[in-house]
Structure 1
Amino acid sequence: MTPVPSVEERQGREIAHYRSVAAQDTEAILGWQSPAGRARADRRGRLFVGRGRIASGARVLELGCGTGEFTRRVAPSGARVVALDLSGDLLVKARAKLDGAARFVRGNAHVLPFADASFDVVYGCSILHHLDVGVALREVRRVLRPGGRLVFSEPNLVNPQVLLMFKIAALKFHYGGSPDEMAFTRRAIRRVLGAIGFSRFSVTHFDFVHPAIPGALLPVVEPLLERLERVPFVRALSGSMLIHAER
C-alpha cells in the first residue's frame, strides 16, 4: 500500500509543481486563456463579487490567488484585497500583473497568518481541493468576522471529465493538475461546512462551458449551457460548484 503523504510533503510537491507551471504560459495551462476560459473566469469574478457582496472598502482575502487572474477581477470593486498563495513563483507573476491593486502574501492556507475576524469576505477559485478542506475552512471561519462570507468555486467530481481527470494521472498532468489535488462532491463539502459550524451555507452546481469551445460559438452556446444549470438531475453533472457560506 502506498503511504499517505504528509501535509508537508504535499505542500512541497505543490510548490515544485507550480514552479514548473509558472515557468510556462500559466493561464493557457490552467485553461483561462482561451475565449471560453476567459468567459468562465469573468463569470467567476462576478459571482465572487456578487455572492460575497464585496463593496468598496471591504476587507477581502483571496486564497490560492495564483497569478492574480481573479484578483484583477475583484480588485476593481474597491475592496481592500489581500491575495495569498503558497507558490512564490506564481506570486511573482501576480505582482507583475497587478502591482498596487492588492497586497500579495506568501502563506499557508492551513495556518493563515492573520488575526481572528480580520476579513469581511474570503474567496477563491479551485483552491480548496488542493488542501485539507476541513483544516482550511476552519481557518477561513476563524479569520472571517461574524456575518462574514465565503465564496469558492470548485470542480465537481461528479462531472464525467472532472472525474476522469482526477482519477487518471496522465489526464491530470495534461490539464495542469498537481499530484495530490483531488476534487470532491457537493455532499462531501456540505458535510464539512456543517461540521465546522457554518449554519447558513449553500453549494450550487454551475458551469457547463468548456474552455475548448470556440469563441465564435460562445454567444450562442453559453446561454444554452447556462439553462442546463436549472434542469434537475442534469445540473448535478456541471463542471463546477459554487460554495457560499456565512459565519
Structure 2
Amino acid sequence: MAILEERGCAAGYQRMFRSVIDEVQLRPGEAILDVGCGTGVLDRWLARHTADANRIVAVDANGYLLREAKAFARQEGLAERIAFHEGRAEALPFPDASFDVALSVTVLEEGDAERMLAELPRVARPGGRVAAIVRAVDMPGWINLPLRRDLKVKAEFPFPGAGVAAGGCADASLYRRFCAAGLSRVSMWPYLAAFEDGPRARIIERGMRTRLAGTELEEWAQAMAHAEADGTFFVCQPFHCAVGTKR
C-alpha cells in the first residue's frame, strides 16, 4: 500500500496522469469513473485538480484497499468528493452510459484486458472518453547514471511479461486494442515517468541491477555513488497511454 501511495504522489507519475487528463479534455460537470483505484491516490489528486467541478467515482476489487482509500480521502477532507465502490474491472457494477469519462491506470495488466476494454466503453456515454495507462514491458527503462553505454543498455533492457496476468495488457498492443474497441479519435503515446530517490526509484534500480555481475556491479556502485553525491540520480519507468472517444 505504501508503494502505491508513494508512486501516485511522485511528481513524474502525476505528470503522466496529467497528460492523460489533459488529452481527455475534461469539462465541468462531467462524471468520472476510475477503475482499479487502489488507495485512491490519483482520485484525490483529481478531486483537487477539478476543484469540485466533477463527480468522481472510484471502483476496486480489493476491499482492503478500498477501506484505506476511504480513510485517506477522509484525512484529506475529500470524502464527500469521491464515491468509492467495490467491483471488478471485468464486470463493472454500473449501468450502460453512466459516465462521461472512464479510465484505468495500471489495471489492464492484472486481469482479462479484453473484458476490461469492453466494460470501459460500455459505461461511457456516447461522446464520452475512455482512457488507460499500462506499464510498458516492451520498452526499456532509463536510469541517469554515468555508465558506459553497453552496461547501461544491458541494465535498462525490459523485463518482458514481468508481473502481467495471462490475459493482461502491458505493451503497445494497448493501441490496437483501443482502436478495436470501436473508439474514435484515439490518441496514443508512450511515456517515461521519472522517479527521484525514494522507494519506487530504489525498486526499479534494484531490478536493473539484477542483470549485472562481477566488475559490472562495481562500476554500477561507483556510478550510483557519484550520482547520489551530486544529486542527479533518477530512474524512468516506461508506460503506454491511450485516450479515445465513444461513438
Fold-level match, TM-score > 0.5?
yes
Task: Tell me whether 158-167 or 105-114 shows the greater mean CA deviation.
Answer: 158-167
Q: Deviations over 1:133-192 (max 9, x none)?
A: 11111111111111111122211121235842744xxxx5xxxxx876855321x22222
Residues 113 and 167, structure 2, Cα contact 8 Å, conserved in 1: no
206 and 194 in structure 1: CA distance in 2 versus 1, 3 angstrom threshold? same
Residue 170 of structure 2 is matched in structure 1 by 184
Match of 1:118 in 2: 98
CA distance in 2, matches of 1:81, 1:202: 23
**Worse overlay, 147-156 or 36-45:** 36-45
Could you say which structure has the higher strand fraction?
A: 2
Q: Of 43, 47, 51, which residue of structure 2 is paired with 1:75?
A: 47
Cα deviation per residue 1:96-149 (whole Å; 9 max; x = unaligned)?
111222000000111111111111101221011112111111111111111111
Which structure 2 residues correspond to residues 31-180 of structure 1 after superposition, within 5 A? Answer: 32-33=5-6, 38-76=10-48, 77=50, 78-98=53-73, 99-160=79-140, 163-164=158-159, 166-167=161-162, 172=163
Alignment partner of 1:201 is 2:186? yes
Q: Secondary structure at the match of 2:10?
A: helix
Change (3 A) 1:206 1:46: same
> Matches of 2:101 and 2:130 in 1, distance apart?
6
Q: Percent identity?
A: 27
Following TM superposition, by how much is the alpha carbon of 1:221 offset from its aligned partner in structure 2, in angstroms? 6.9
Q: Per residue, is there more helix in 1 or in 2? A: 1
Normalising by structure 1, we get a TM-score of 0.68
Question: Matches of 1:101 and 1:33 in 2, distance apart?
Answer: 22
Instruction: Show CA shifts across 1:14-44 (max 9, x none).
Output: xxxxxxxxxxxx132x4x527x961123213
1:58-117, Cα deviation, whole Å (9 max, x unpaired): 111001000011001111202100000000000001001112220000001111111111
Structure 2 unaligned regions, length at least 5: 74-78, 142-156, 203-227
Q: Which moved more, 1:119-128 or 1:199-208?
A: 199-208
Cα 1:92/1:165, change in 2 over 3 Å: farther
User: CA 1:221 to 1:111, structure 2 compared with 1: closer, same or farther past 3 Å?
Assistant: closer
CA RMSD of aligned residues (A): 2.9
Structure 1, unmatched stretches of 5+, are: 1-25, 173-177, 226-237
Larger of the two Rg values belongs to structure: 2
Amino acid at match of 1:92: R
* Kept after mapping to 1: 8 A contact 2:103/2:120: no
What is the one-letter code of the residue matched to 1:241?
H
SS in 2 for 1:104: strand
Instruction: Sort the Cα spacing of 1:101 and 1:44 in 2 relative to 1 into closer, same or farther, 3 A.
Output: farther
Residue among 201, 213, 224 paired with 1:212: 201
